[in-house]
Amino acid sequence: MPRTGNWPLGTLPIRACIVGAVREPPLLVIRMPFTPEIHHRHSIRLRGYDYSQPGRYYVTICTRNKERLLGEIIEGEMHRNGLGDYVALCWEWLPRQYTCVDLDEWIVMPNHLHGIIVIACGGGSRTAPTTPLANRKPLGRLVGAFKTVSTAHFNQARGTPGAVLWQRDFYDHIIRNEDELNIIREYIRTNPLRWGSDPENV
């Protein structure tokens, strides 16, 4: 079954199960608000979806073991350390490197990053222009590039070649409409205020 994060705004699927039934009843859809702090705990890509196509994608990328390496929250505000500042620079590097990419709301937190990536065209690198349709960069490749450049600095600064900065996977949610976009923007903007109850604050 596709992950909950990719159902339309306000819907989550629940399959009816009847003991002894010969065939499975139709999929039932029950309305409930999209809630980032709940839904971002599911991080399986939507099977069969083309993540290189134009759209807006909400991502959450966590440090390995959710270590608080990027700064701290003080009185409801995020204070990045040196590594957190460099992670922010690497995030801002994405639209400079890839013509297909733009950034919407984002924030670096002590042990994760929330951000909205906008894929606006076919793809291609600014340093090596290519035919868009043949060289589209899917979301996973973009996040992978961000992880690679930020991890390289992490290891250089700490003298730990080969060390892992980020968790292997990341959460994504395909933003379907303006209502979802506004909910997620607000969630990102106010994330430091809820750090005490943040599911990533472990």
- Name the β-bridge partners of 79: 72
Does residue 153 sit within a domain?
A: yes
Q: What is the pLDDT of residue 3?
A: 36
What is the chain's mean pLDDT, rounded? 78
pLDDT tens digits for 156-167? 988 999 999 999
pLDDT band of 123, cuts 50, 70, 90: very low
Domain assignment present for residue 107? The answer is yes
C-alpha to C-alpha distance for 184 and 116, rounded to whole angstroms? 8
pTM for this predicted structure: 0.74
Q: How many domains does the chain have?
A: 1
Residue 67 lies in a domain: yes
Q: Is residue 12 part of a domain?
A: no
In a domain, 25, yes or no: no
Q: Specify the range with the lowest mean pLDDT, choosing from 81-90, 120-129, 178-187.
A: 120-129
Whether residue 13 is contained in a domain is answered as: no
Please report whether residue 99 resides in a domain.
yes
CATH number where 142 lies: 3.30.70.1290
Which has the higher per-residue pLDDT, 69 or 48? 69
Structural domain including 171 reads 35-197
Which pair of tokens denotes residue 109? 């937190």
Assigned domain for 8 exists = no
Q: How would residue 1 be classed by pLDDT, with cut points 50, 70 and 90?
A: very low
